Structure 1
Amino acid sequence: MPSSRRAAHVAIAATFTFAAACCAFAADAGPPLAASWPGTIRLDVDATDIDHRIFRVREQLPVSPGPLTLLYPEWLPGKHAPRGPIDKLAGLRFSANGQPLAWKRDPLDVYAFQLDVPAGATRLDVEFEFLTPQDGVQGRVVVTPAMLNLQWETVVLYPAGVEARGVMVDAGVRLPSGWRFAGALDVAPGQAPNTTAADGSVRFAPVPLDTLVDSPLYAGRHFKRVDLAPGAKAPVFLDLVADDAKDLESKPEQIRAHQALVEQARKLYGSQHYDHYDFLLALSDELGGIGLEHHRSSENSADPAYFTDWDKQAHERSLLPHEFTHSWNGKFRRPADLATANFNTPMQGSLLWVYEGQTQYWGHVLSARSGLWSEEQARDALALVAQTYADNRPGFGWRDVQDTTNDPIVAARRPLPYRSWQMSEDYYNAGLLTWLAVDAKLRELSHERHSLDDFARAFFGVDDGRWSVKTYTRADVVAALAAIAPFDWDAFLRAHVEANAPPLDGLAASGWKLVYTDKPSAYQRSADAARKSIDLSASLGIVVSTKDGRIGDVRWNGPAFKAGLGARGTLLAVDSRAFTPERLADVVKAARDGTAPIELLVKDGDDYRSVRVDYHGGLKYPHLERIPGTTDRLGAIFAARR
């Protein structure tokens, strides 16, 4: 670890109370961090310049004379990787006693800024701009003419050598005139929630830095707040911002499904680890897409027609259940190697198949139990996951699920040339299948008396009302499962996450099997329409944009791959006729009854070439079918708790 990360403020280091080393799991965690920073940082963000999409930042830090290192957050919770957008920081200026101060960046740690505080100074003034992306190629867009998403980690510097929970911050923001906002932070006394002062400003009650970073803000011109837990001791709200006011309109039954989500989660876990919770949901084509968990809120985005074209948005409706589950799994109970003491200490994601994988599982289950999905939609969504691992992950020949927990750092969600072979964050959906297998095994061992619901309550539902992080290890997970049903759970889990084979056994153990027909489910049709693609990965082995014919993916060693088609270029013609999605599907279907190869004309840069695919298996779309004579455990899993 570079020396600047270890540096404490030397002039006042003697006053610090040092805690135990923050990262006992790491081979070299460095010296222990100071438990607190004397005084409170004042942070002011001017977010009114939506024309230029710039956040202007001022900080005031209590200091003492001597060397000082300030850090820009690098390792971000929920992203499990060093993703702090330091490339967007500009115009950095320091001053004390009214005089500018020279600074330099640590060349071995570009997130660290070093300076000397002059004699007699008790306050350091900091100014900089956060230049939000103007276009998606520069990063996720967080400011549009109608809304913004303020993530506090992008607009703060904090002292090195201190635990994030020991740095108090008094934060405020100024928003465009007339805009309303929502987030998990409590406003300062005397201010109305969700409404700014006449000048657009709002001040929040001081909180530790880790709480601030865990409490993003959505604001917008078109805003609506919906109570999802009327009369509850711990309120839950759905806070909507939209490109257009009309997109905020919803039907009572749609809101009831979201209210049922909160109710079903409470029944599942038997606890709440928040005093209030806010689903922040942007209905936008312009704000960058997101689904990010926080302890008392979540950042989410969906199609503008999320409510107004409800029947076509089923594929979007598992996001809120997923992120809500993280309040229990990930934020309250957190893998020990992800529970770092500040935002510049490296994280390790060895248990992401629990953190994200089981959350993905409960996201699907709660979507069904709440009525956000019908049971048929829940099965169709699971069929797509199963098909991916039955047909479209040959990468298991060289990787396992456990190794993919490194991919937030390795791939950083960049586009991959051959996703099926390289694999990526497969701990999400392969994790889902793993926990389906665990649930089915618990039910089998207990003769249907116990299930993964019991694990959720015993493991994540403990200490009702507690906010502070409670860490866990793999051994804790194994012990909790064994307490429900004695079994060699360590071997069972290893066979699922450390094997060079996809974890598909849970489907049959739940009483269902994967089958294929030549017609996609309504769920898949809506998902493909939203992605503007035709997904023939289970048959021809390609995914093609319906908008312009661009080839988005080619299955490794699939029919198209073997014919010489790469994951690039644009599909122009199918069997000598101009490409349309319908024509491509028709040709694949017709080839089942013939012997001639399918001929594709592809433009690859300035080159045109014909690719002849010798495939005659017809269209293949995944569905689930009951296994006669077996227990329908999947139906029991998806059934709402009464």
Structure 2
Amino acid sequence: MKKLLALSILAACSAPAFADVNYALNISQPEHHLGDVNVEFPKTAQSYLDVKLPAWRTGRYEILNLANGVRYFKASDDEGNALKWEKIDHSTWRVHLNEPTEVNIDYQVYANELGKRARHIDDSHAFIDASGFFMFSESFRQEPVTVELNVPKAWRSVSGMENYKNKHSFKASDYNVLVDSPIETGVNELRTFEVDGREYELVVWGEGNYDIELMLTDLKKLVATGNVIWDSYPYERYVFMVHATSGAGGATEHLNSTIIQRPRDRFAKREDYLAFISTAAHEFIHTWNVKAYRPKGLAPYDYTNINYSKLLWIAEGSTSYFEDHLLVRSGIQTTDEFFKNFSKTINRHLTTPGREVQSASETSFDKWINQGGDHARNYGTNIYLEGSLLSMALDIDLLENSQGKISYRDVHKALYKQHKLPAGFTEQDVLAILKQLSGRDYSAWWQANVSSPASLDFDELLAKVGLSFELPEKAKATPSLDAFTKNTGELLTLTHVHRDGAAWQGGLTTDDKLVAINKKHVGKNLIASLETFKAGDKVTVDFIRRDALMSTELVLSEDFDKPKKVVANKNATAEQKALFKAWMGVAHPNNVKKDD
């Protein structure tokens, strides 16, 4: 017994100490976008301690070089003595230690990148994503953390993390939670509400034409829809952060919150408001899909390197797909509004030549290096667009072959149940779930649609749920260059030339400036300049390239003045209507009475 007790004492003495990593941010010069950071790391006996600032932030699959805002780096021991340090790569500082000691790190951060949603400070607020502010050490990544803010008196601080000592301090179980729990502090509006026993907060920074009461009404409806897909909620408290801004837009999901940015005057119109609430739905869905379960390669996060995955089309595209489902089921969005949005998605896919070149698997893997632009559109696609349409195709296939009993929602319910973090799921895991649910092997479907560029028959797919994809009755055929343009002074400049289209075949390319067609000045309206022609006509196009006047001949292609749209099939069968109900959770439009 004495021997066992001695061994126990020895084991306890040799175990690493359990201690907090403490962060402090002092914002004394907000008008200059500056913040001073102090980090206290627990005592360590290592010969050196590597401290790092993430090179990217979660939710944005792009290396952001966040360390470029750090200056005045200093390191000291627990008695305040300076420690020797050196920078060993783009975002790692190595602090050398001569004896066991606590390590204190001080540095200044320049935070003026609002649109990247990583760090921003001005005289009215600060948005604090830990990836842009707070360094970490792999040695202490799993230790509890605290954050204390020193901010102007009039500011209010809000985060998905728990408060610590006061309203401007927070605590988290480890750095992984901290880096996924942003803080909004400043002059803002705050509303709180409760739905099904869970607490929610809506904090809005910036003035704009938003209706905060309408936001609250619809967010209450939205957060009640989680059980449409999953069996439980992964949180007890959730924060919606909204920036009404100038020149910044976008959104990012987080573990217990989301940040949504929109131009301050883009809330009031119905179309703008739907864009906002759709974004809120997207980020809300991410609370499960990505934050509770995510593909292997993204779990655990590597904050300083690229995190590769061939399944980002599920992480992002499937999330986009489910947006409309929750909005329609909750009554926030009408079926007509859904059809309009769905039509845009399909038409965007059909006018992206890259869909014939790059698969969903490939575009997922290449997301980190996909810079967009003309070449990307012609030879690539994106995880949101392809992932959304593949999710739709898979959903309808599952529903049709199960008479409406099994859907793509069940796949995500199973992912949440069987593959919760910390482990990530693989392609084989998804295929196994599909077989468990349907009894069918989806390997061939996967090879044809995910591993290879998908070729989706929208007429066939939509017909199964009582819909059609067709031209509006008054749509007219028009001649086309198969190119997009923008006004640049007195001339139109080509911004995208559709691969193998009319302009492409004629040798035109991006940045060419159109001067004349058949010696008639193009001006600022390409449609008007083409209205005297018809598809199949051969024309001469004069243009400027490298400041020189040039000329080419091309044959105009056919387009229509109005795009195809998704509509309810007036002749839909009872079976098709039933499948629509199983798909969207509401009655087929032809089954809805006028009074409804």
Task: Give the TM-score normalised by the residue count of structure 2.
Answer: 0.84
The equivalences for 1:59-208 within 5 A come to: 59-65=39-45, 66-74=47-55, 76-96=57-77, 97-106=79-88, 109-119=89-99, 122-133=101-112, 142-161=120-139, 164=141, 166-189=142-165, 191-192=166-167, 202-208=168-174
**Which deviates further from its counterpart, 565-574 or 148-157?**
565-574
**Which deviates further from its counterpart, 60-69 or 562-571?**
562-571
Q: Which residue identity lines up with residue 451 of structure 1 in the other structure?
A: S
Deviations 1:44-96 (A, max 9, x none): 11234232112221112123352222222235432345445122222211122
State which of 202, 223, 226 in structure 2 corresponds to 1:262.
223
Q: CA deviation at 1:571?
A: 5.5
Instruction: Indicate the structure whose relative CO is greater, using CA pairs within 8 Å and at least 6 residues apart.
Output: 1
Residue 241 of structure 1 pairs with residue 205 of structure 2 = yes
The answer (yes or no) to whether the contact 2:478–2:534 under 8 Å persists in 1 is no
- Helix, strand or coil for the counterpart of 1:356? helix
**What CA distance in whole angstroms lies between the structure 1 residues aligned with 2:109 and 2:276?**
30
- Helix, strand or coil for the counterpart of 1:336? coil
State which of 335, 358, 361 in structure 2 corresponds to 1:402.
361
The answer (yes or no) to whether the contact 1:61–1:125 under 8 Å persists in 2 is yes
**What CA distance in whole angstroms lies between the structure 2 residues aligned with 1:247 and 1:609?**
48
Residue 303 of structure 1 pairs with residue 263 of structure 2 = yes
The answer (yes or no) to whether the contact 1:53–1:134 under 8 Å persists in 2 is no
- Identify if the C-alpha distance between structure 1 residues 636 and 73 changes in structure 2 by more than 3 Å, giving closer, same or farther: same
1:453 aligned residue: 409
The answer (yes or no) to whether the contact 1:322–1:364 under 8 Å persists in 2 is no
Q: Percentage identity across aligned positions?
A: 18
Residue 552 of structure 1 pairs with residue 495 of structure 2 = yes
Q: CA deviation at 1:380?
A: 2.0
- Helix, strand or coil for the counterpart of 1:43? strand
Structure 2 residues not aligned, in runs of 5+: 1-10, 588-596
The answer (yes or no) to whether the contact 2:479–2:556 under 8 Å persists in 1 is no
1:373 aligned residue: 333
Residue 363 of structure 1 pairs with residue 314 of structure 2 = no
Aligned positions, number: 564
The answer (yes or no) to whether the contact 2:126–2:185 under 8 Å persists in 1 is yes
**What CA distance in whole angstroms lies between the structure 2 residues aligned with 1:447 and 1:215?**
42
Moved over 6 A (4+): 13-17, 138-141, 572-575
2:196 aligned residue: 232
1:565 aligned residue: 508
Q: Which residue identity lines up with residue 350 of structure 1 in the other structure?
A: K
Q: Which residue identity lines up with residue 179 of structure 1 in the other structure?
A: W
The answer (yes or no) to whether the contact 2:478–2:559 under 8 Å persists in 1 is no
- Helix, strand or coil for the counterpart of 1:218? strand
- Identify if the C-alpha distance between structure 1 residues 230 and 42 changes in structure 2 by more than 3 Å, giving closer, same or farther: closer
**What CA distance in whole angstroms lies between the structure 2 residues aligned with 1:616 and 1:235?**
56
- Identify if the C-alpha distance between structure 1 residues 230 and 70 changes in structure 2 by more than 3 Å, giving closer, same or farther: closer
Task: Give the TM-score normalised by the residue count of structure 1.
Answer: 0.78
The answer (yes or no) to whether the contact 1:317–1:373 under 8 Å persists in 2 is no
Q: CA deviation at 1:133?
A: 3.6
Q: Which residue identity lines up with residue 505 of structure 2 in the other structure?
A: K
- Helix, strand or coil for the counterpart of 1:552? strand
* Two-structure CA RMSD over aligned residues (Å): 3.5
Q: CA deviation at 1:504?
A: 4.6
Q: CA deviation at 1:241?
A: 1.4
The answer (yes or no) to whether the contact 1:235–1:275 under 8 Å persists in 2 is yes
Flag the structure with larger Rg.
Answer: 2
Q: CA deviation at 1:596?
A: 5.9
- Identify if the C-alpha distance between structure 1 residues 348 and 390 changes in structure 2 by more than 3 Å, giving closer, same or farther: same
Q: CA deviation at 1:376?
A: 1.8
The equivalences for 1:272-283 within 5 A come to: 272-283=233-244
**Which deviates further from its counterpart, 370-379 or 586-595?**
586-595
Q: CA deviation at 1:185?
A: 1.2
The answer (yes or no) to whether the contact 1:261–1:366 under 8 Å persists in 2 is yes
Q: Which residue identity lines up with residue 586 of structure 1 in the other structure?
A: A
- Identify if the C-alpha distance between structure 1 residues 438 and 341 changes in structure 2 by more than 3 Å, giving closer, same or farther: closer
The answer (yes or no) to whether the contact 2:51–2:94 under 8 Å persists in 1 is yes
State which of 432, 453, 463 in structure 2 corresponds to 1:479.
432
Q: Which residue identity lines up with residue 361 of structure 2 in the other structure?
A: Q
Q: CA deviation at 1:159?
A: 1.9
Q: Which residue identity lines up with residue 237 of structure 2 in the other structure?
A: H
- Helix, strand or coil for the counterpart of 1:493? helix
Q: Which residue identity lines up with residue 507 of structure 2 in the other structure?
A: G
- Helix, strand or coil for the counterpart of 1:99? coil
**What CA distance in whole angstroms lies between the structure 1 residues aligned with 2:119 and 2:541?**
40
Q: CA deviation at 1:140?
A: 7.4
**What CA distance in whole angstroms lies between the structure 2 residues aligned with 1:493 and 1:540?**
35
The answer (yes or no) to whether the contact 1:390–1:502 under 8 Å persists in 2 is no
Q: Which residue identity lines up with residue 145 of structure 2 in the other structure?
A: V
Q: Which residue identity lines up with residue 421 of structure 1 in the other structure?
A: N
**What CA distance in whole angstroms lies between the structure 2 residues aligned with 1:599 and 1:356?**
41
- Helix, strand or coil for the counterpart of 2:92? strand
1:392 aligned residue: 352
Q: CA deviation at 1:497?
A: 0.6
2:29 aligned residue: 49
- Helix, strand or coil for the counterpart of 2:171? coil
**What CA distance in whole angstroms lies between the structure 2 residues aligned with 1:350 and 1:187?**
38
Deviations 1:385-427 (A, max 9, x none): 2223323224523x3111111223223xx34342222315x22
Structure 1 residues not aligned, in runs of 5+: 1-12, 18-35, 193-201, 521-535
Deviations 1:508-542 (A, max 9, x none): 5444343345989xxxxxxxxxxxxxxx9995433
**What CA distance in whole angstroms lies between the structure 2 residues aligned with 1:304 and 1:452?**
36
**What CA distance in whole angstroms lies between the structure 1 residues aligned with 2:29 and 2:479?**
48
**What CA distance in whole angstroms lies between the structure 2 residues aligned with 1:241 and 1:618?**
44
Q: Which residue identity lines up with residue 567 of structure 1 in the other structure?
A: T
Deviations 1:532-563 (A, max 9, x none): xxxx9995433334686554322222222223
